[in-house]
Structure 1
Amino acid sequence: MESRTEFNLDNKIQQWKSNLNKKNNLTKSNIIELESHLFDLIDDLGSKGLNEEESFIIAQKRIGKIDDICLEFDKVNTNFSNINKSIPYLKGALIYIAFIALSKLFLLTTLALSQKLSINNITFNTISIILLVFISISFLSTLFFNLNRRKPFLSKLCNINVLVPLIIISSLITFRLSAEIILPGIDASELGNFGFSFSNFAIMETNFAYYKILCGFILLTTSLIFFWRNKKHNKIKQTK
């Protein structure tokens, strides 16, 4: 005979609240209001002789399914829902900016090393292309792995509080490195050993321009696919 797990009311309520917190169209006050209503129903049912488990199940059914609750509150919290719905798009834009900023930083670092190692234009062109391809594959592989395995690392990395400082720091370092570029008409000897070759910089900028266009196209296409699938899924739920 199988042993039955003991019912824990507090754990069940926390799980129920956790599911509510995952929804974008419920405010904190909405969740507190629903929780208070749930407790009132449980107390009322308990006073009629039902045990905690029975009271919780019936109270939960009386309040309604979470998706139905969210649809009702969505009509009331229109502004709040719109703000929350825009957050994923804001994160997507910040991820793109951070990705491009870090890629530029890696390229400029490679440019600095090529200058010290006296690498010629053709070799640097090949190296920059290989580096950009490697960065793209690494990023997409990490994204795919984390989404499939549901790892929390990527969600933490995609937090706005992480992305904004990352963009600022990488941009400042990139700006500092860019200041070392040797421009036409400037004597390289005046800059010491830290000046970058302008021809190599021009090659890097050309490759990077194509790279940004390609990355933007891939991310835009992916975003449209996810948007279309999400919209289709919401329509199916509403028609049920």
Structure 2
Amino acid sequence: MESSTGFNLQRHITGWMVKIQSEPAVTEADAEELKSHLLDLIDDLKAAGLDEEEAFWVASKRLGKSMDWGEEYRQENNPVIQMRRSLIILAGVLAYFMCYYFILTTSKLLFITLLLKDVDGYIAADWVSRYLITFHFGFVLFFASIFFLEKKTVTFIENIKMRPKHTIIFLATAVTLAIADTSLFPVAKGMMGDNFSLRSHLHHLYLNFDFSFPLLISIGFVFIYFKYYKKVKFQ
């Protein structure tokens, strides 16, 4: 839908919708309703003799900016907003457990695979240690990137729109990984046989991980929380 002057009405409407949907207080239904009002205004203005470009700018100006009616929608949709925030918090907790059990499960799979290939048990344990350390560095880089990419991070957090089905998927995935981790431990233990020294070594690796990984995640979230506490629109 492009006029002879090169004005692309559909593209501008899409951009207008993106700005509306970036407002945390506006639901999808609200955005569609506002779009309908905009289209009606454009049609009325075109019928009055304005071209597409003029009609769009006049209509969008009449409807106002998102910040003008954001507070009104925030009050109207407060229960929805609170539920969305609760789902985000729950999803964050479940995402932590997903990562935690994913690392444990895959590290045990690595250990078992190396033993099946007749790799010495202590060498296999060293590979597991390196594997766990690699994830620690990976999460340090992840939190550092979030910490320094300020504008993009704030926008990302504001635009997260969780639904109950998403948290159910996260929960199911976390439970599945936890079951897999629990099932693999006896297998790894059985493959070590009576080598109690190796068992103790591997056990201490996982004990250290159980301490260091939650500590790393907690510190990362604390730093991010205090950096963005006054900037992220969670109010």
Same fold (TM over 0.5): yes
Q: Which residue of 1 aligns with 2:28?
A: 28
TM-score (norm 2): 0.72
Cα offset, 1:69, TM superposition: 2.6
Q: Which residue of 1 aligns with 2:101?
A: 101
Cα offset, 1:30, TM superposition: 1.3
Letter in 2 for 1:11: R
Q: Which residue of 2 aligns with 1:135?
A: 135
Please point out which of 169, 180, 191 is paired with 2:187: 180
SS at match of 1:23: coil
**Counterpart Cα distance in 1 of 2:68 and 2:182:** 51
How has the CA–CA distance of structure 1 residues 19 and 161 changed in structure 2, closer, same or farther, with 3 Å as cutoff? farther
Cα offset, 1:51, TM superposition: 1.0
**Gaps spanning 5+ residues in structure 1: where?**
183-190, 236-240
The equivalences for 1:72-151 within 5 A come to: 72-113=72-113, 117-120=119-122, 127-141=127-141
Moved more, 212-221 or 71-80: 212-221
Q: Which residue of 2 aligns with 1:186?
A: none
Is residue 69 from structure 1 mapped to residue 69 from structure 2 by the alignment?
Answer: yes
Say whether the 8 Å CA contact 1:111–1:201 is kept in structure 2. Answer: no
Higher RCO by CA contacts (8 Å cutoff, separation 6 or greater): 2
**Counterpart Cα distance in 1 of 2:207 and 2:27:** 47
Say whether the 8 Å CA contact 1:181–1:201 is kept in structure 2. Answer: no
TM-score (norm 1): 0.71
Cα offset, 1:48, TM superposition: 2.3
**Counterpart Cα distance in 1 of 2:43 and 2:176:** 54
SS at match of 2:24: coil
Is residue 230 from structure 1 mapped to residue 225 from structure 2 by the alignment?
Answer: no
How has the CA–CA distance of structure 1 residues 229 and 136 changed in structure 2, closer, same or farther, with 3 Å as cutoff? farther
Aligned-pair identity in percent equals: 22
Moved more, 33-42 or 211-220: 211-220
Say whether the 8 Å CA contact 2:25–2:77 is kept in structure 1. Answer: yes
Cα offset, 1:54, TM superposition: 0.7
The equivalences for 1:143-182 within 5 A come to: 163-164=170-171, 166-180=173-187, 182=189
Cα offset, 1:165, TM superposition: 5.0
Q: Which residue of 1 aligns with 2:210?
A: 209
Q: Which residue of 2 aligns with 1:187?
A: none
Cα offset, 1:224, TM superposition: 1.3
**Counterpart Cα distance in 2 of 1:98 and 1:40:** 47
The equivalences for 1:30-45 within 5 A come to: 30-45=30-45
Cα offset, 1:117, TM superposition: 3.1
Cα offset, 1:128, TM superposition: 4.3
Cα offset, 1:101, TM superposition: 1.1
Letter in 1 for 2:119: L
Cα offset, 1:57, TM superposition: 0.4
Cα offset, 1:114, TM superposition: 6.3
SS at match of 1:95: helix
Say whether the 8 Å CA contact 1:124–1:200 is kept in structure 2. Answer: no
**Counterpart Cα distance in 2 of 1:234 and 1:213:** 24
Give the paired residue count.
Answer: 214
How has the CA–CA distance of structure 1 residues 211 and 106 changed in structure 2, closer, same or farther, with 3 Å as cutoff? farther
* Root mean square deviation of aligned Cα: 3.6
SS at match of 1:25: coil
**Gaps spanning 5+ residues in structure 2: where?**
153-158
Deviation per CA, 1:204-237, whole angstroms, max 9, x where unpaired? 3321222233223233324413541424x789xx
SS at match of 1:86: helix
Q: Which residue of 2 aligns with 1:238?
A: none
